[in-house]
Amino acid sequence: MVDAGRETPETAAVEAASRSAPKPFAAGLLAAAAGLLIGVPVALFAVLVPGFPRWAIPLAAASGAATAGFVAARSARRFVELVREAGERELKLEKRVIARADELSAAYNQLADKHESMRKELRVARDIQGCIVGRLDHLPPRPELDVAAWYRAMDNVGGDLYDVVRIGRNSYGFLMADVAGHGVPAALVTALVKVAFDGKAAWGIRPEGVCDAVNRTLCQLVGEQDRFVTAWYGILDLETGLLRYTNAGHHPPVLIRKDGTILRPDTECQPLGIIDEAPFYSVELTMSPGDRMVLFTDGIVEARNYLKEEFGYARFLEAIGRNPGAPPGSVIDGILADLNGFLMGAPPEDDRAILAFEFRGFAPRPA
């Protein structure tokens, strides 16, 4: 329904054109002025020139006035036509602008709806990944073992993964993995890696056997997508303190002995998901009560501040050594305090994850 009293762009343009056009009275005045300007000089010329017939003076003046009036009338009509044409063009332009604005507004609303839908989907994906990564509440408390972890994705979802799996009565598997890339594709592969490790980790299967099985699964499912995974996986026997581990192209973790000695448990195995026949092997070491281990992804040591300086291994080890004898949660808090102070609010360029555990004592052997 259109409001008769509301001014629209069309009526406004027409009224502007009508206000700009000269009125009949104004046109008459213009014609009279033009007649005077032409007729008076003709009459003076007839008076001043000897021999010019007196009867021709009024005729010349009238002719000049008529000519001037005709010229003025045509000019006025042309002026009115130009004003009307300009008004019509302006009206058409306004209609085109309004139509284009409506199209842009509809497109913006559509994009806004899609953006909000994507945000909701990413929030759901983040919540789902939170159930996969970053939860240790499924582990029953053990006096022989203390575990803490921290995770922060660069986007809503990320490609880093840590996990702790109970294997048998007194053994635990520790995993730290990093999927190549970021965002949703990396998060999907992360879920696959989580399921693959959980499915392969079992009593009697050594770390190299688990890594070999996960590697074959990844090569079969995502090998053509260039989504390889670096991973460190170790199994700790709480009865003996024996830690057997395999490093598949990941950053070696930091083992801090009770006396302050630092080791970097490592193997030279290649990342997962590249070659299905790749060889994997494991190495053994013995942990003593009070020894702690810190696993991490490259987003920690390769984090950059606004000056593009890396946090680096030296600062990382310094943060770990600043609190000797601290429990795993306090060790992580110290690392994050130093990291945040170094970054000074610089945005992350990669996902970040830390997993720390302490071997506190030997579990009693079953009778």
Structure tokens at 219: 């090569």
- The Cα–Cα gap between 21 and 76 comes to 8
Which pLDDT value is given to residue 187? 83
For domain 133-359, give the fold: Phosphatase 2c; domain 1 (3.60.40)
Which pLDDT value is given to residue 13? 45
- The Cα–Cα gap between 207 and 259 comes to 28
Which pLDDT value is given to residue 316? 96
Which pLDDT value is given to residue 1? 44
Q: What is the mean pLDDT of residues 344-351?
A: 91
Q: 278: buried, middle or exposed (CB in 10 Å: 19+, 13-18, 0-12)?
A: middle
Q: Is 279 left (phi over 0), alpha (psi -120 to 50) or beta?
A: beta
What's the pLDDT tens digit per position in 289-340? 999 999 999 999 999 999 999 999 999 999 998 887 899 999 999 999 999 9
What's the pLDDT tens digit per position in 92-115? 888 889 888 888 888 888 787 776
CB atoms within 10 A of CB 272: 30
Higher pLDDT, 159 or 129: 159
Which pLDDT value is given to residue 42? 57
Domain extents for the chain?
9-126, 133-359
Q: What is the mean pLDDT of the chain?
A: 82
Higher pLDDT, 352 or 158: 352
Q: Is 145 left (phi over 0), alpha (psi -120 to 50) or beta?
A: beta
Q: 167: buried, middle or exposed (CB in 10 Å: 19+, 13-18, 0-12)?
A: middle
- Candidate from 32-41, 62-71, 89-98, 282-291 with smallest mean pLDDT: 32-41
What's the pLDDT tens digit per position in 18-58? 454 445 445 555 555 555 555 556 556 555 666 656 565 66
CB atoms within 10 A of CB 242: 14
Which pLDDT value is given to residue 107? 82
